[in-house]
Chains A and B, each alone.
Chain A
Amino acid sequence: MGRYVIRRLLQMIPVFVGATLLIFLMVNVMGDPIAGLCGERECDPATAAQLRKEFGLDKPVWQQYLTYMGNIFTGDFGTAFNGQPVTELMADAFPVTIRLTLVAIVFEIGIGIGLGVLTGLRRGRPVDTGALLVTLVVIAVPTFVTGLLLQLLLGVKWGWIRPSVSSEAPLDELIVPGLVLAAVSLAYVTRLTRTSIAENRRADYVRTAVAKGLPRRRVLTHHLLRNSLIPVVTFIGADIGALMGGAIVTERIFNIHGVGYQLYQGILRQNTQTVVGFVTVLVLVFLLVNLFVDLLYAVLDPRIRYA
């Protein structure tokens, strides 16, 4: 197990380097960001040159990348165009997005798995058909439609929530945005759990457990659910990273100043330092969560072992 973890951690290094290099190149291909800094007029050449020097844009791309990577190991993610260190932007943005992601994950686990178990045990009944239909609709409707609709109904028409989240973004204000963000994944989790439960219900070990005379509740949690959750855990794990990066739409609708907002601003202003910095951290989150999910397999199913 220990060796497995170390091997996985070492594998992360090339993935990390490759991913950051790709992003770096992609942002640089878009052209000279200084040109957009002076608005509708040309920066005077001297100021432009000075700015380019300050942001290190006057050097060749490979050299910029090496300097950037070197700085990252000392915890320096560079400076955004408005003069703020990128680490400061991260310290503001990540807690907000992590809170939002947590709310979304709680919804996914609570409602998604709950509904999945319920429908999986009652296949073909009205409850099952109803849930299938609802999840189909949820998957089919794009996030921005759900978001804007909920914002309009709950925020403007009925006045139950504030249409926009305040800059502190406390948990209670994030409930509706979290639900919107989770909606599509939630539907997938429901369907995944349902199929998995329905399949395993007829498995030999479940029949044995029932034949042994174990209480129904114990059969459900210790035998059926534990085995059925493996694909669901994989999905939720991969989803954590996707939710953090994919929050751009939800964060824009509800005016949440999180990672999505910073990334959007960074791309719009073509701010290499912000974009590369945030994506770098997101890549790390992705990698770590995947590792964690793989380790969780062994806990859920002791037959899966890593030498």
Chain B
Amino acid sequence: MRGATHVTRAACAVAVALAAGACGGGAAPAGGPDGIVTSSWGDPQNPLEPANTNEVQGGKVLDMIFRGLKRYDPRTGEAEDMLAERIDTTDSVDFTVTVKSGWTFSNGEPVTAKSFVDAWNYGAHLRNNQRNAYFFGYIEGYDQVHPASGQPTAQTMSGLKVTGERTFTVKLTQKFSTWPETLGYAAFAPLPSSFFSDHDAWLARPVGNGPYAVDSYTRGSRMSLRRWDGYPGDDKARNGGVDLKVYTDSNTAYTDLTAGHLDLVDDVPASQLRNVEADLGDRYINTPAGIIQTIAFPYYDPDWNKPGQEKVRRGLSMAINRQQITDTIFQRTRTPAKDWTSPVLGPDGGYDASLCGGSCTYDPARARKLIAEGGGIPGGQVKITYNADTGSHKEWVDAVCNSINNALGNNRACVGNPVGTFADYRNQITRSRMSGPFRAGWQMDYPLIQNFLQPLYYTNASSNDGKWSNEEFDRLVDQANAETDPARAIETFKQAEGVVRDQMAAIPLWYQNGSAGYSERISNVSLNQFSVPVYEEITVG
């Protein structure tokens, strides 16, 4: 009997496929203001909670269903008030936050000061295993709810106090003038009471306060989001909704796009970059995102931490032909780095295309000289460690090594050192087991120069994988954070970045672009600084 149904289904498939498209595919998608956008997606790695999401796929959804106190303008990257009516401070330590009135979650519950305070306390508490808990580390009392070792001694952070229906106060442990500008990050989103009362149900179908509401969610395969008509913000969705479909391989998503079964892919696979302009024409987007790739050094290894060795590091930097590698290997989806931040910050935000200068320019003759002056490469060979499972890290590491070998006229000066999985790679880094330089990548959490410097180069900072330490740099960062005038703070951060440059703490390679492609059905597609599509602006038909 199975054979019989099989045959009929096959016949149906062939017949319908010839006539229209697919068997049982449903009616043709509607256009206009209620049109639905279909978009590629990847399975979020962690449970979908605001303070637990640290990768782009989960972040994409949070950006659609949540709005926080601040929001980063998708074009300028500036932190603008969203739910915040006012954030007042006189000393950059004590902040008073006033939440706008009239905002509700999509289930009708009003967004109050308590929605924020409860969410932040949840995010910070050790018991809840939130991957992004350290975002609350500046708030007083964090040590009690999230001690570095042992059990928490408090349930809530002492620095957070609800003072009214729509006001709460925050006390930080140190001066941090740009702290309000970090509040656009998804970890600081408010949460409805149903999150706490029925957590499993919330995870199965998250409820937020953004322009979209989750209609249905099948974990690991798809999520349907629909425009929430009660959304009070001025960035209302201009389409009927978005269907996110999980793809295991970005190549398949791209194939679906070219076959007309998908509207938007936000990750054009490297293997398709050669064809993308012929396939999509101006429906291919390639814009800078807040991502920088660098080569870091193991400063815990005495061989790599000798005085005077900054000359070797600068020499290595000058031996890398960034322009050639980004042109040929990345098909211009990367831009050669000229400083340690990102162009998305803009000149006012601290980006400076002249900061690295000659140290980041290909100059084989000077490279040879500098490396010789600095005492030569430790051990006679640079081994660049990378994880070989994702990304096209092998290609560019080999290219970088080629470039170094050519510049130094020594075929054994640099080799790649692949590690099988990302987990194992991270494991070796966190245990300080690197014996030579290694690949490092940084995707910003928020568009602030502070975020490109402090987590990466401050002594014992969370992402200071090479354990670089410099008193002058630390002092300047502290000073910048204490600065009440934002412009002066950025200036001081740039001075600190100058220390990173002089010591060549890490070799900046290139800024990564976000790349996306879309179908003829939709328009007004753009990517924000996090390389996430600005879904609510997309129009259909």
A residues whose Cβ falls under 8 Å from a Cβ of B:
30-33, 35-47, 49-51, 54, 81-84, 88-89, 92, 102-103, 106, 151-152, 155-156, 159-164, 167, 170-173, 175, 251-255, 257, 261, 264-265, 267-270
Q: How far is the CA of A44 from the CA of B258 in the complex (A)?
A: 42
6 additional A-B pairs beyond A30-B424, A264-B248, beta carbons within 8 Å, are A31-B423, A36-B423, A162-B259, A167-B218, A257-B220, A270-B424
Given A84-B219, A253-B249, is A46 in contact with B259 using a C-beta cutoff of 8 Å?
Answer: no
Q: How far is the CA of A43 from the CA of B146 in the complex (A)?
A: 13
Q: B501 to nearest A CB, angstroms?
A: 22
Given A31-B423, A40-B440, A41-B462, is A47 in contact with B133 using a C-beta cutoff of 8 Å?
Answer: yes
Q: How far is the CA of A32 from the CA of B256 in the complex (A)?
A: 36
B259 touches A159 (CB 8 A): yes
Q: A101 to nearest B CB, angstroms?
A: 13
Q: Which residue of chain A has its CB nearest to the CB of B390?
A: A268
Q: Which residue of chain A has its CB nearest to the CB of B43?
A: A265
Cross-chain pairs A/B with CB under 8 angstroms, 18 sampled: A35-B423, A36-B421, A36-B426, A37-B45, A42-B430, A44-B148, A47-B130, A82-B219, A92-B221, A155-B255, A162-B259, A162-B261, A163-B252, A172-B12, A172-B23, A252-B249, A255-B253, A265-B43
A35 touches B255 (CB 8 A): no
Contacts of A160 in B (CB 8 A): 14, 17-18
Contacts of A54 in B (CB 8 A): 129
Q: Which residue of chain A has its CB nearest to the CB of B24?
A: A170
Among A47, A89, A151, A270, which residue has its beta carbon within 8 angstroms of that of B421? A270
Asked if B54 is at the interface of the complex by the 8 Å CB criterion, the answer is: yes
B46 touches A37 (CB 8 A): yes
Q: Which residue of chain A has its CB nearest to the CB of B442?
A: A40
Asked if B22 is at the interface of the complex by the 8 Å CB criterion, the answer is: yes
A172 touches B13 (CB 8 A): yes
Contacts of B47 in A (CB 8 A): 82-83
Contacts of B127 in A (CB 8 A): 50
Contacts of A253 in B (CB 8 A): 249, 252
Given A33-B423, A47-B133, A162-B22, is A155 in contact with B259 using a C-beta cutoff of 8 Å?
Answer: yes
Counting chain A CB atoms within 10 Å of each CB, which of B2, B134, B420 scores highest?
Answer: B134
Q: How far is the CA of A155 from the CA of B55 in the complex (A)?
A: 31
Contacts of A163 in B (CB 8 A): 252, 255-256, 259, 261
B420 touches A30 (CB 8 A): yes
B261 touches A164 (CB 8 A): yes
Q: Which residue of chain A has its CB nearest to the CB of B14?
A: A160
Q: Which residue of chain B has its CB nearest to the CB of A168?
A: B221
B222 touches A167 (CB 8 A): yes
Q: B214 to nearest A CB, angstroms?
A: 16
Q: Which residue of chain B has its CB nearest to the CB of A92?
A: B220
Q: How far is the CA of A162 from the CA of B245 in the complex (A)?
A: 14
Contacts of B44 in A (CB 8 A): 82
Given A106-B3, A172-B23, A269-B45, is A40 in contact with B247 using a C-beta cutoff of 8 Å?
Answer: no
Among B13, B21, B129, which residue has its beta carbon within 8 angstroms of that of A51? B129
Asked if B203 is at the interface of the complex by the 8 Å CB criterion, the answer is: yes
B427 touches A36 (CB 8 A): yes
Contacts of A35 in B (CB 8 A): 423-424, 426-427, 429-430
Q: How far is the CA of A39 from the CA of B248 in the complex (A)?
A: 18
Q: How far is the CA of A113 from the CA of B18 in the complex (A)?
A: 30
Q: Which residue of chain A has its CB nearest to the CB of B58?
A: A82
Q: Which residues of B248-290 are within 8 A (CB) of A?
A: 248-249, 252-253, 255-256, 258-261
Q: Which residues of B360-399 are within 8 A (CB) of A?
A: 389-390
Q: How far is the CA of A37 from the CA of B423 in the complex (A)?
A: 7
Asked if B339 is at the interface of the complex by the 8 Å CB criterion, the answer is: no
Q: How far is the CA of A254 from the CA of B221 in the complex (A)?
A: 13
